Amino acid sequence: MQPLSTWATDVLDLVLARACLACGEPGRAWCSPCVAACPRDLRPAGLAGHDVPLVCAARYDGTVQDAIIEYKERGNRALAPMLGRLLAEAVSAHVHGTGETAATIVPVPGHHRPARGFDALGGAVQAACSHLAASGLRAAVVPAVRLGRDAGPIKGLGRAQRHSAVAGSMQPGSSRAQRRARERRPLVVVDDVVTTGATAAETVAVLRAAGIEPVGIAAIARA
């Protein structure tokens, strides 16, 4: 899915007379000052039981939670650029200071539900790539990990249950995707919301089994 351009989003905002979900001002679905004012935590943190650094741009509460629900559950695609901005900041936190001008992004698989007709993570990732490109980092999205079997609904499960439901549910992507993932470093695994980190950790495990080492996991928010 192509993200809407800023221009198209602006036109839609005018036509639909949207209001910012944080301050209520008419205009963008989530205005730039409110996105900028949203509290961030861009320091890499650990993921319990795993040795891969994790950066979640914001906490999954308040306006961020409202925006993610509005985007994912109600399909308000006008929020993709704002959520993409947060995701881009989390990706940058892993690459910042390395002097790298290119990177590979591997999305956690399993988000694309054809029945819903909307690849929510894919839309946010594309928007994140636009933000990264504007800041001088060319990011290529590579589906180097794919779903082997559906792990089933993991919402509501505890940490250990989530990990065992997800274990073995993923496999390496096509050989072309594997090759592309090896070519361009650093490689960052991305997800929208990290709760226990079970699916992101499984994605990292599949990459490592294929001899590919990610520099970290980046997400929009931490629940």
Q: Which of residues 31-50 bind Zn ion (CB under 5 A)?
A: 31, 34
- CA-closest candidate to residue 142, choices 120, 122, 162: 122
Task: Name the minimum Å distance from CB 61 to Zn ion.
Answer: 17
Main-chain dihedrals φ then ψ at residue 156, nearest 5 degrees: 95, -15
- Amino acid, single-letter form, for residue 46: G
Give the residue, chosen from 3, 13, 18, 20, that forms a contact with Zn ion under the rule CB under 5 A.
20
CA gap 158, 82 in Å, rounded: 30
Q: How far is the CB of 89 from Zn ion (least distance, A)?
A: 18
56 and 190 Cβ atoms separated by less than 8 Å: no
Q: 18 vs 131, which CB is nearer to Zn ion?
A: 18
Residue among 31 and 127 whose Cβ is closer to Zn ion: 31
CB of 123 to Zn ion, least distance (A): 21
Residue found under tokens 């290119």: 102
Element (H, E) at 207: helix 198-209
Residue 12 or 177 having the CB closest to Zn ion = 12
Of 22-30, 142-150, 188-196, 200-208: span binding Zn ion (CB under 5 A): 22-30
Q: Which of 22, 105, 127, 142 binds Zn ion (CB under 5 A)?
A: 22
d(CA 219, CA 159): 18
Residue type at 14 in one-letter notation: L
Query: Is position 23 an interface residue for Zn ion (rule: CB under 5 A)?
Result: yes
* Cα–Cα dist 63/60, whole Å: 8
23 vs 160 by CB, closer to Zn ion? 23
**56 forms part of the interface with Zn ion (CB under 5 A):** no
Identify the H or E element spanning 103.
strand 102-107
| Residue 33 beta carbon to Zn ion: minimum distance, rounded to whole angstroms | 6
Q: Is 215 in the site for Zn ion (CB under 5 A)?
A: no
Q: What does the binding site for Zn ion look like in residue numbers (CB under 5 A)?
A: 20, 22-23, 31, 34
